[in-house]
Structure 1
Amino acid sequence: MKGTILGIIYCALWYGSILSGFLMIACPLLPLLILSPIKFRKCGDFLFSCWELYPAALLHTFGIKIAVSGDHIHPNESAVLIMNHRTRVDWNFLWAAMYQACLPSIGQHKLKFVLKDPIKHIPGPGWTMQINGFLYITRNWDEDKGRISRALNYLIALSRRTQILIFPEGTDLTVNSKQRSDKYALEHKMPQYSYTLHPKTTGFSYLVQLFQQANFLDAVYDLTIAYPDSVPQTEIDLITGKFPKEVHFHIERIPSVNIPTQDVTLRNWLENRWLCKENTLEQFYKKKAFSDQAWPMTKLVPLHAALFFWSLLTGLTLIFLIVSPLFRLWALFNALLFVGISLLTNGFHEIEMNWYWKWRTLFCHYKNN
């Protein structure tokens, strides 16, 4: 019972912080997009990176240890991050790992996920990630190829050196997904894995080549996540308080000069990385650690500040929703706006990108005259 109460409190605070940030910060920021897409993207990235401290603060407060080892992530690099997808809630712990991996920089890294398209419809989180430029894909390669190239061209035009994280496995490790992976391995005469799924290489290869062709790739970071005790497979596990005591991450930085440039070699490179990852995880579950050199959690002041600010903002949002008809109208308007955007378009980020190119043409014309 105690675990369930703690799980409900944790998830309520987590979800409440996103909803309050959406209504109180992100939506009021939208008019800036019309005036200057460049400033809008800078402000949006900064504000979202500030929110990323909150999940790290919650995990620290609830006594969940995040152990990170390997290479630090340079927050101002343009990079592709690849990670195994052990459970549906891996991303919940990733924010805390990124906080430790990117120290001492606070609020500087610009991490964006590649996600399944239906996630954009989730009220609050889906809308917020649309505003913050996350990439939503459909599993239709012709469509997804265009989305990826448009997003990267936009970031290059803004000179926004960004980290894009993809889960090459495409889904989390479950009984059903493992069966499909084993079937694929059997058909292609490849080894069957116990701790990972065979990666899908098409999207990774295309994304990396786009970075390389634009001379925009500084590195690829290979992240490996593992749970030494209990494994929360879904959001329901978090709500019912089935938290792991520890979550471990190991990070390896591969400089761009060591990354292949051809499609076939990139695909083979990723498959070899996954074979190494499988072996690394096998050793992890024998020792219950990646390394004896896990970094200690430092700089707790930013986490305490984030815990106070976002918890306060969540409380204020709840009060305003209860006592203010005008705020309820504001919330309803923005909710309906993003329901419409999610259903009728490819997402807010596509609107942002389309407006940027028109804005730049208008701005250049005005400047020349």
Structure 2
Amino acid sequence: MEVFGMKVVVSGDHVRPNDSAILVMNHRTRVDWNFLWGAIYQACMPSVAEHKLKFILKDPIRHIPGPGWIMQMNGFLYITRQWEEDQGRLSRSLDYLVTLRRRSQLLIFPEGTDLTVSSKGRSDRFAKSRGLPLYEHTLHPKTTGFSYLVRHLRDADYLDAVYDLTIGYPDFVPQSELDMMIKGKVPSEVHFKVQRIPISDIPRDETALKAWLEERWLLKERELGQFYRDKAFPGEPWPQSARLPLRIALVFWTFLSGLMLVMLLVSTFFQIWTLCFALLFIGMSLFSTGFNQIEMAWYDKWKALVLVTDRRKLE
């Protein structure tokens, strides 16, 4: 798929939109997720409208005005990297998804952060302390969150597969939003390799799950070494997907963004509405753990009320 002269190349397995799945991916740069949407669009064809991808992100991202608030409303999961807190958040969020019985794909970056000089230094020190190999193209993954996700969803009979995604940049690697939005530097190509692993092929034991993920990252490191020599992943890439829907979406959102700016300038009602909306989310950022957590708490209270009402009717 090519957009504005930049090509997103996807190879490997088709992402089944109706799978309840965990997606694991290396985090080469801060802006990986910008290109991931195009890859998922292509990999999920022809049923792209059915996929329900949600990211598991660092907690500070939910505070970003606009994008962070929208992701809260779309049920993205936020974690603090403090396992005592994160386990409770993940448990509530996963139980909520299971209760709703909506098929979802949860994307997690097991490395915890993108690949930079400082993060690679920390990863190398960790590897040396554990007698592990030093990586050049990835960071050593954090395994606790991944193993918990797999075991929790599998126990609820809610997990069909794990997808292993690998991203590679054959020419220019944009390290931040500054490269793309200010300097106007974008890669000519971004490549994704997708492998679907059915849940029946994934270990059940926590220790074995952690070892499984570490082995996947060792393989990923080797694949990326080959990728940067060949400038492509092995195998035939997926056929180019239709660009008309993307063009329609671009026109629609550009028009909508322009309309919002005009309304902010000319409409007092819209200005007040925007201010109230912003204050609401700022308040939730300061005094709660996010819109999605409040939504889940409301749902639990509503469910408890329904149960009490049903019992009274039976009596």
The TM-score normalised by the length of structure 1 is 0.82
- Runs (4+) of structure 1 moved beyond 3 Å? 363-369
Partner Cα separation in structure 2 for residue 242 and residue 301 of structure 1 = 25
| 1:1-369 correspondence to structure 2 within 5 Å | 60-239=2-181, 240-366=183-309, 369=313
**Offset from partner CA, 1:50-86 (integer Å, 9 cap, x none):** xxxxxx8xxx442110000000100111000000000
Shift of residue 124, structure 1, vs aligned partner: 0.4
**Offset from partner CA, 1:99-155 (integer Å, 9 cap, x none):** 001111132111111111111110001101111111111111010000001000000
The structure where helix makes up a greater share of residues is 1
SS of the residue 2:23 aligns to? strand
Q: Which amino acid aligns with 1:103?
A: M
Partner Cα separation in structure 1 for residue 4 and residue 65 of structure 2 = 25
SS of the residue 1:107 aligns to? helix
Shift of residue 310, structure 1, vs aligned partner: 1.3
SS of the residue 2:172 aligns to? coil
Instruction: Indicate if the aligned counterparts of 2:179 and 2:186 stay in contact, CA closer than 8 A.
Output: yes
Shift of residue 365, structure 1, vs aligned partner: 4.4
Partner Cα separation in structure 2 for residue 173 and residue 106 of structure 1 = 29
Partner Cα separation in structure 2 for residue 309 and residue 367 of structure 1 = 45
Partner Cα separation in structure 2 for residue 298 and residue 129 of structure 1 = 26
Partner Cα separation in structure 1 for residue 53 and residue 295 of structure 2 = 18
Identify if the C-alpha distance between structure 1 residues 366 and 309 changes in structure 2 by more than 3 Å, giving closer, same or farther. Answer: farther
Identify if the C-alpha distance between structure 1 residues 128 and 265 changes in structure 2 by more than 3 Å, giving closer, same or farther. Answer: same
The CA RMSD measured in Å over matched residues stands at 1.2
SS of the residue 2:8 aligns to? strand
SS of the residue 2:134 aligns to? coil
* Runs of 5+ unmatched residues, structure 2: none
